[in-house]
Amino acid sequence: MKILITGGSGLLGNELKNFIDTKSLSHNVEYYAPSSTECNIENLETVTKIISDYNPSMIIHCAAVAKFKDVELNPKKALKTNIIGTCNVTHACMDTNIKLIYISSSHVFDGQKGNYKPSDQINPLTKYAKTKAAGEYTVLTHNNSLIIRTEFCGKDFPFNTAYTDKWSSKDYIDVLVPKLLDVCLSGKKGICHIGGSRKSFYDFALERNINVKPGSVKELVKTSPIPILIDTSLITE
């Protein structure tokens, strides 16, 4: 199976490459994972040519402006990459009915109740979440597609403090990728959720940083210009 991975130089793209290179998989997989410089998804001609030249049977679309602050500061760039870029990838997949897997986010939900099911109504509140939701609607126009909602970070918890009153199904990237690739290779279509069990950010942080200190999100809610999502946990595969 030939897989094209967009966003090959990003956190998720790099970990997917590393996992495929080093693990024995149930499928015979080869991949091409160009960087955003090599594959500018904002240009339809570039995307179409790369897909035509490589002729993949599947595309895992990871490329995105994913840092919330970057999206808030430069929403036009996020619009070009997360929405127009996703439109271009979807358009190119439609031409030859290539399976498209879109990496979305638990942040398409409003964080009011947690334990979200794939069938629950999305309600994006931040600019980042709105671009990811727009990407979902775009991908759903292609029948041969799968949307994966998830939330992840690197292999370490990088902060000294973590919230005891904010919850998610976040996974560390090395834990997430095997689960994600299994679902990608399973033949599923539609929408699915992948991640860990519901945990507070503090409990999640303790798994890899025993010195992390507990904190509360209450003060952040009062001062943040960006909506704070209290519970984005998912009912996962």
Residue 116: beta bridge partners?
A: 234
Reported as a single tens digit per residue, the pLDDT across 91-117 is 999 989 999 999 999 999 999 999 999
Mean pLDDT across 44-67: 96
The CA distance from 97 to 77, in Å, is 28
Residue 234: helix, strand or coil by DSSP?
strand
Quickly count: other Cβ atoms within 10 Å of residue 123's Cβ. 12
Q: Which domains does the chain have, with CATH numbers?
A: 2-156+169-198 (3.40.50.720)
Note the pLDDT of residue 70.
87
Say if residues 132 and 196 touch (Cβ distance below 8 Å): no
* pTM given for the model: 0.95
pLDDT confidence of residue 26: 63
The tokens describing 125, both together, are 């509140």
Write out the two tokens for 128: 């980042």
What is the number of other CB atoms lying within 10 angstroms of the CB of residue 141? 11
